[in-house]
Structure 1
Amino acid sequence: MLALWVALRNAAPVIGGAIIFGINSSINASGAVSLNTYLAIIGIMCAGPFIALLLSHPSQVQRKDGVVIVFRKTGWLLSLSEWWSVIASKNMLLLCPLFFTSWFYGSYIGTLQTQYFNVRTRALCAFVIPMGDIVGGFMVGYFLDNKRMSIKQKARASFAFLMTCNLALWIWTAIITKQLEDSKPIIDWTSPEFGRTFSLFLLFDLVTMATQTSLFWIIGQMSNDFIILSYMTGTLRGVECAGQAVAYGIKSSDTTDWLSIGFNVGLFVLAIPFAWMVIRKIGVQSFKEIEPDAASTDEKSDAPDSKEELA
């Protein structure tokens, strides 16, 4: 299911990338994309709210077996109180450094594309690279669904492999950066430098989305309560976005490429031991169940609170 969500999430970038590529595929020069690119994307975005009106009202949604989906009534103060009880838990705090750095790479990789790729090659990247996200999500999803390995083995093997891949990609990035700084090329898809730079960008998206999918799987092992899991996934997305904001802020200032590389490597190295303290518990011991405030107990009674009830 996680991999399916990843595929649906990245279907939009693939479609948008196809539009960008179609409009700009003939521009064999550096600089900005065609104005028509912005008009096409803005037009699609403006149509979004009207398309959303075709969705069924939540109260009309039911499962295949006919069971109606029950929604819990809550308020801002109660939700904030419950969310705080989740974010303040030890295991979530230990994972937050990895959440923060999981998409930190994007600002630097995007800058490399802008600096060294011409317009049509960047358009090709916009179309093809999101497919790496889809492949990465399905690859790690297939592995984590493997029934021949224990949960403990899958958690540790996927974590070790993905952290190794992330750090290896940054070593490769440092090598590519040095080569680009020395030669300062304008890269077209016919250029000899295209293969090694494009494959780096594609693999970054593949590995990053595989890492993201595994993070959702990890927090899925920490609770059976769907309300708690909603707060956990929201925290993951929020901290991840905060990391992206900081990364783009750093890159927007007058800093060297090597500072970005150093930050990314340093954050990953810092995050690994904290995350490992959680990973090593998966499949070995039960996580202490996080309980929302007692005031919400009655309001939760009508809502499904376990994976089994929603299966």
Structure 2
Amino acid sequence: MATHESKDASHEVNTPEHSVADPNGALELPNSWKYRRVSLFGYTFPWYASPPTQLVIVSFVCFMCPGMFNALNGMGGGGQMDATANNHANTALYSTFSVVGFFAGTFTNKLGIRTALSFGGIGYSVYVASFLCYNHTHNLGFTTFAGALLGVCAGLLWCAQGAIMMSYPPEASKGRYISWFWMIFNLGAVIGGLIPLGQNIHTTTPKPVTDGTYVGFLVLTLIGAALAWTLVDAKAVIRDDGSKVIVMKHPSWKSEILGLWETFFTDPYIIALFPMFLASNWFYAYHFTEINGAYFNLRTRALNSVVYYSMQIVGAYVFGFALDFKGVRRTTRAKAAWVALLALIMIVWGCGLKFQRTYDRAWAEDEANVKKDWSDPGFAGPFVLYMFYGFADAAWQTCVYWFMGALTNNGRKLANFAGFYKGIQSAGGAITWALDDNKISYMNMFASNWGLLAGSLLVGLPVILWKVEDSVSLEKDIKFTDETIDEVAAKTHVARGGSVDVSEKV
């Protein structure tokens, strides 16, 4: 494979040995099973080593691993009557996640996508198994350890996922790719939530989740970890326009660690998005434990979890496709997305303030008070509010990923961005689960959520106004010599001065 020297050795890349499109523009794919087209019922599916197929595989890994985790946590207390074990596990989880996630781009670039995803999936299996064990032994130490281990594993899984989702698609399709992922991923939580709902649909008496539910989640997480190994290397991926992902040649630990710190010097503006990263997991303890777990009974919690994640699918679809709306400049779409997020946050959390005034922690922890059921009068209002909390969550996550993807096409840099994102949001999660364990008042937790969401939008506005461009040029994305830029542009069918998607090393 031909190599080219750059001004910076850390940016040395491998380029394709040959063009994958003929001069007339007809796409010519290599003669391999990875590039065979399959037609079924009149529809021709993308080849296996195409960005859409690879994204679907990653989506189903997350469907079965983080999706089952979300289903479990969405019921409040990890399915337990007492939220102590869940709070300890999640505090440990997000504490280690915040550290590992920050450096996950370095590890993912060096170890590879498949290793990172599969190792991450195993962590989810151990986490689910710890709650199955807790049903019988009440071993708080095991659940806490499992949470800490999952933080390490999840840091790598989410970094690998983010790098694929933001670097594989062409610029015009990044919003749709993000929405496809978020829809499939949250479908896992929806299906996972249907399991306890079906088991408890006729039961209003409080009780923990059954062993059968935990076993079902455990099997799915193990399948997800194994599925990660079906991905292909990034260097084998070919887009439908014939362009290939450019991969970094044999990165060293030194080059990756230096590359992590280089990101702060070359793109210091990313720090202005850190408050948005922090806010993106801050509200989960409030949603799952302090609303769903505190206010509703078991079967209603299961229903709420299903609807919460169903609305995430809707939110991802609406925002993901709007962010790629053709005929409108990307800079304009970025500003419109910011306005839409601000309006959504103010409306949804404004309604949440009225609801939060109806109960407090003292009421929730008094066993004499009967938790609300879907058959009770006045259920509709809190139910609809909880639906839109899920919608707003998906809108936030989709927009933040899209903003990062709009800043660069450099896969190595995007892996670092994804690591920063997951690390910082996990630090926020660790703080809020610890606050809930320390019995913070529900109103104070509510206020911290609303204030952080609104405030972070204001802090991040300058990046959206001045750093998001209609297209990112190849020269700006990677510091090649003029000769290398021309050669890579020719091989990837991008005119000099245009944009090219880059993913350095898997």
TM interval, shorter chain, is: 0.7 to 0.9
Matched residue of 2:359: which SS? helix
For residues 64 and 275 of structure 1, do their structure 2 counterparts lie closer, same or farther at Cα, with a shift above 3 Å needed?
closer
1:278 aligns with 2:463: yes
Q: Compare 106-115 and 12-21 and name the one that shifted more.
A: 12-21
User: Do the aligned partners of residues 94 and 127 (structure 1) sit closer, same or farther apart at CA in structure 2, a change above 3 Å counting?
Assistant: same
Stretch of structure 1 that moved more, 273-282 or 178-187: 178-187
Q: State which of 72, 76, 79 in structure 1 corresponds to 2:253.
A: 76
1:248 corresponds to which of 415, 425, 433: 433
Verify the 8 A CA contact 2:247 2:502 in the aligned structure 1.
Answer: no
- TM-score when scaled to structure 2? 0.54
Q: Does the 8 Å CA contact 1:14/1:131 hold for their aligned counterparts?
A: yes
Distance 1:100 1:230 in 2: 18
Contact persistence 2:206–2:298 (CA under 8 A): yes
- Inter-CA distance 60–160: structure 2 relative to 1 (3 Å threshold): closer
In the TM superposition, what are the counterparts of 1:199-214 in structure 2 within 5 Å? 199-214=384-399
1:25 equivalent in structure 2: 201
What SS does the aligned partner of 1:221 have? helix
CA contact (8 A) 1:97 1:267 kept: yes
Larger mean Cα displacement after TM superposition, 217-226 or 98-107: 217-226
Which residue identity is paired with 1:125? N
Is residue 164 of structure 1 aligned with residue 346 of structure 2?
Answer: no
Structure 2 CA distance for aligned equivalents of residues 291 and 64 of structure 1: 20
Cα pair 1:103 1:208 within 8 Å, conserved: no
> Which residue of 1 is the match for residue 168 of structure 2?
none
Give 1:146 shift.
Answer: 1.5
Partner of 1:86: 263
Amino acid of the structure 2 residue aligned with 1:93: I
Gaps of 5+ in 1: none
Tell me how far apart the structure 1 counterparts of residues 442 and 282 of structure 2 sit (CA, whole Å).
Answer: 14
Q: 1:162 to 1:49 in 2, by over 3 A?
A: closer
Matched position secondary structure for 2:327: coil
Tell me: higher relative CO, structure 1 or 2? Use CA pairs within 8 A at least 6 residues apart: 1
How much has 1:51 moved relative to structure 2? 4.5
Per-residue deviation, 1:135: 0.9
Matched, 1:11 2:187: yes
* 1:171-221 Cα shifts (integer Å, max 9, x gaps): 222211111348965211112232111211111111121111111111222
* 1:77-115 CA distance string (max 9 Å, x none): 322221222245321000101111122111111121111
Q: 1:58 aligns with which of 217, 228, 233?
A: 233
Match of 1:143 among 297, 322, 326: 322
Question: Which residue of 1 is the match for residue 280 of structure 2?
Answer: 102
Identity %: 22
TM-fit CA distance, 1:237: 2.3
Q: Which runs of 5+ in 2 are unaligned?
A: 1-176
Per-residue deviation, residues 241-270 of structure 1 (Å, max 9, x unmatched): 222222212112121111211211222243
C-alpha distance 308-193 of structure 1, shift in aligned 2 (>3 A): same
Counterpart of 2:310?
131
Alignment-mate amino acid for residue 10 of structure 1: N
Structure-2 residue corresponding to 1:308: 500
Instruction: Name whichever of 58-67 and 181-190 sits farther off.
Output: 58-67
Match of 2:381 in 1: 196
Kindly tell me the number of residue pairs found equivalent between the two proteins: 303
Deviates more, 1:34-43 or 1:126-135: 34-43
Secondary structure (helix, strand or coil) at the match of 1:28 reads coil
2:408–2:472 Cα contact (<8 Å) kept: no
Pair 57,68 (structure 1): closer, same or farther in 2 beyond 3 Å: same
Shift of 1:70: 5.8
Q: Which deviates more, 42-51 or 93-102?
A: 42-51
Deviation at 1:22, TM superposition (A): 1.9
Q: Distance in 1 between matches of 2:211 and 2:378?
A: 28
Counterpart of 2:358 in structure 1 is 179
In the alignment, residue 385 of structure 2 is paired with which amino acid? L
Match of 2:212 in 1: 36
Do the aligned residues in 1 keep the contact of 2:273 with 2:460 (CA within 8 Å)?
A: yes
